[in-house]
Amino acid sequence: MRSSMPIAATFATIALAAAGGCTTAKPPASVSQAADGVVQPATATYSCADGGLITIENLGSSVRILNGADVPLELPASPPAQRSRYGGQTYALVIEGNEALLMKGGAPPLACTR
């Protein structure tokens, strides 16, 4: 009688090797990759055209905007599956590479760079 153990072990090894090849590298949890392929840091400070600074904390499916004077503003991704456009309440934020455009209803857009 022949043992089926070596055959089972061979199939298990092939299955494990195939499963290992199916994984994809993801950015660490501290960064998010935008649609343009640019990886956004977990926290970045931007210099704005009005002379002020804003800090954007990237939370993955949302961002938190801090400007030192106001209460932090949290905006969800809009639409939810992407990582470069955020919006809610009367605010919107678009991040492209090293640039961020912050918009508030009734005010001119504020261009910022990091």
Comparing CA positions, the residue from 56, 67, 50, 52 lying closest to residue 98 is 56
> Look-up: residue for tokens 């055959």?
7
pLDDT digits (tens, 9 = 90+) for 45-100: 999 999 999 999 999 899 999 987 778 999 999 999 989 999 998 999 999 999 99
Q: Round to whole Å and give the CA distance between 80 and 70.
A: 25
CA dihedral 68, 62, 31, 37 (to 10 degrees): -120
Question: Residue 15: helix, strand or coil by DSSP?
Answer: helix
- pTM value is 0.67
Q: Which CATH class is domain 32-113?
A: mainly beta
